[in-house]
Structure 1
Amino acid sequence: MSTHARSPAAGWSWLRQAVNLGRSNPRAVFGAVALLALVALVPSVIQLALQSGLGLGTTASLGVMAASTLVMVVVYPLLIGGLLRVIDAAEHGRETHATALFDTFHAGNGAGRLIGFGVVMFVAYLALFVTVVALFGQDFFAWYMELLTASTQNDPAAQAKVMQDIPEGFGTMMALGTLAGLFFSGIYAIGFGQVALAGRDVGSALADGIAGTLKNVLPILLLAMVAFAGFLVFALVMALVISLLATVGGLVHPALGMLLAAPVYLGGLLVMYVVMFGVMYFMWRDVCGEAVPLPPGQVEL
């Protein structure tokens, strides 16, 4: 299956369509994204509960973190595949629902291919990360262990001190990591779409992801810049609204302030998730197939 090179403006188009995502079936799309976010949050909640309740040390905390990561390496690809199928069904007017997110967990729905692609991408991410750190951030792991130790001891002063002692080469490492992350995000979006929606095997999906990303470097860069600027504006507005609600509610009682601010905060996170996966879907659809115009009644930004 061939991939297409799109104009730089396609990056803006993917983001614009992602903002419009869910208008045809908001209950299914937003519901599925909310379920995905909840499931993805479970390992972090368990990890935090174990660290707080059992007072785990640095080594034990790393063990829990590693175990949680391995579980999500298997589970998360299934969730992504299920969500992409819900989005695709909603965009094409087919009947779907939020819990269709979990259809990929059933036999005969390509679970092996989704997990396989997810594992390949995870190993590639890990190998790249280790390579970049080995070349440009030799002291990073020691610094991170100090930060983790300070975090598990709940010592703000120690954490602040560690944050001031950022290792040499950290800036270069982060810059290279960001560029690599952009490249991998293209492979991730296109490849997962190929596995979940086009029925491609892992190797073919990976090849399509690499080829499609190389052909669309400029639109992906434009997307990253516009998305970053939009995120800053969105985050600023959200922070102001949340702060205002918390302050007004806090005049009556601190609990009321939290009660007023929490729905806005959670709603903002949900919107960000919807847009993120929407971009992923529309990038795949545009690069691996013919661009589909917005359905009647949708608003272009």
Structure 2
Amino acid sequence: MSLPIRKVPLTHGAQWLMRAINLGRRNPRAIFGAALLLIAVLYLLMVVFTLPLQFGEAPDFETAVTTVALAALAAVLILPVLLGGLMHVIREAENGRPTRARDLFAPLRLHKALPLALLGLIQIALALICGSLLVWATGADYWPQYQEMVRGAITGRITTVPTAEQPALVALAQLLFYYFSTAVVLVSVPQIMFSGLGLSDAVKRSFGASLWNLGAYLFATMLFMLGAMIAGLMVSIAALVVAMLGAAVTPMLGHLLAWLLFAAYGTVFLVVMCGTCYYAWSDVFAEDGDAAATPAPAQHDRFEA
């Protein structure tokens, strides 16, 4: 039987993020290796789906959009499975159990892949609802103008940026979509992986938690995005510097060094994001004996990532 959803203070959002930043002390090879493997799988998926665009004649606009849309759909379906695997590695490592980077594929072994993949369909459904609201709020002429702007960007033509009839409603719809799609999908992942819930129950409870703990969720999201933007800016500057230094030797070396830096940033980004969601789940739902509560970090804890 599922335990009630806990109401946690707003400050717990900061605690989840701080604990996630300190992840990897017990088994960094497994945790960060799994995150890097996740990036590699998604990159390989994109390469496979876009191969038709890289050979033969240049595709027309519709073909290119269709191919990219299919690649995005595949990524949306497989990403929750991979995130579930990364949270599994995090959970095993943090509880002192042996785990390896290849345990990223644990959802396949544990028969959790299908319900996790279906979370992607939930996200698509939310996107369609948000899109319907946007069509209503932007007016009949907005989307044709937007498509023309995209075509112009692809072909190198400069076009006028369209404006919505009700920009405030557009911003509100996008904000609601990003919040609920992120909160419901990401917190449903550990619900399915660790709480033994089915898809519908996991989504319902995650949606309820996103309302009941709106303050803590938003606080954690705000801190995470702020940190990600600052770190991303610093990494971009560092990548530019190392690319210039490497290019002094050979252009290939410059590109390689910059790529390695961005790959490291993406790896840490995934670990902190999944760690924050994992600790949010363990704190709000407290359904597991070995992850029943999220203690406040001690005053002497340090940021180590």
C-alpha distance in 2 between matches for 1:91 and 1:140: 49
Provide the residue aligned with 2:85 in structure 1. Answer: 82
C-alpha distance in 2 between matches for 1:270 and 1:261: 14
Q: Residue 122 of structure 1: SS of its match in structure 2?
A: helix
The equivalences for 1:245-256 within 5 A come to 245-256=242-253
Query: TM-score normalized by structure 1?
Result: 0.87
1:262 to 237, 259, 268: 259
Contact 2:16–2:276 (Cα < 8 Å) also in 1: yes
Provide the residue aligned with 2:130 in structure 1. Answer: 129
Matched residue type, 2:27: N
Contact 1:82–1:102 (Cα < 8 Å) also in 2: yes
Shift of 1:150: 3.1
Residues 8-53 of structure 1, C-alpha deviations (whole Å, 9 max, x = no match): 1111111111111222111111111111111122343345543343
Shift of 1:219: 1.1
Question: What is the CA RMSD across the aligned residues, in angstroms?
Answer: 2.5
Matched residue type, 2:162: I
Structure 1 unaligned blocks of 5 or more: none
2:175 to 158, 178, 186: 178
Distance 1:75 1:228, change over 3 A: closer
Matched residue type, 2:237: L
2:46 to 44, 47, 59: 44
Shift of 1:6: 0.9
Provide the residue aligned with 2:10 in structure 1. Answer: 8
Contact 1:189–1:284 (Cα < 8 Å) also in 2: no
C-alpha distance in 2 between matches for 1:259 and 1:283: 36
Provide the residue aligned with 1:19 in structure 2. Answer: 21
2:164 to 159, 163, 168: 168
**Residues 44-53 or 111-120, more deviating:** 44-53
The equivalences for 1:190-209 within 5 A come to 190-209=187-206
Distance 1:260 1:192, change over 3 A: closer
Alignment of 1:103 onto 2:106: yes
Matched residue type, 1:82: G
Shift of 1:129: 2.2
Query: TM-score normalized by structure 2?
Result: 0.86
C-alpha distance in 2 between matches for 1:74 and 1:237: 31
Aligned length: 292
Distance 1:196 1:46, change over 3 A: same
Shift of 1:195: 0.7
Distance 1:64 1:293, change over 3 A: same
C-alpha distance in 2 between matches for 1:246 and 1:72: 29
Aligned-pair identity (%): 26
Matched residue type, 2:78: V
C-alpha distance in 1 between matches for 2:143 and 2:32: 38
Structure 2 unaligned blocks of 5 or more: 287-291
Runs of 4+ in 1 over 6 A off after TM superposition: none
Contact 2:15–2:296 (Cα < 8 Å) also in 1: no
Distance 1:21 1:42, change over 3 A: same
Q: Residue 7 of structure 2: SS of its match in structure 1?
A: coil
Matched residue type, 2:274: F
Distance 1:171 1:14, change over 3 A: farther
**Residues 135-144 or 8-17, more deviating:** 135-144
Provide the residue aligned with 2:120 in structure 1. Answer: 118
Distance 1:171 1:226, change over 3 A: farther
Matched residue type, 2:84: G
Matched residue type, 1:127: L
The equivalences for 1:228-239 within 5 A come to 228-239=225-236
Contact 2:146–2:162 (Cα < 8 Å) also in 1: no
The equivalences for 1:266-277 within 5 A come to 266-277=263-274
Shift of 1:88: 1.1
1:71 to 62, 69, 74: 74
Contact 2:50–2:68 (Cα < 8 Å) also in 1: no
C-alpha distance in 2 between matches for 1:262 and 1:69: 22
C-alpha distance in 2 between matches for 1:48 and 1:79: 21
Alignment of 1:149 onto 2:151: yes
Matched residue type, 2:161: D
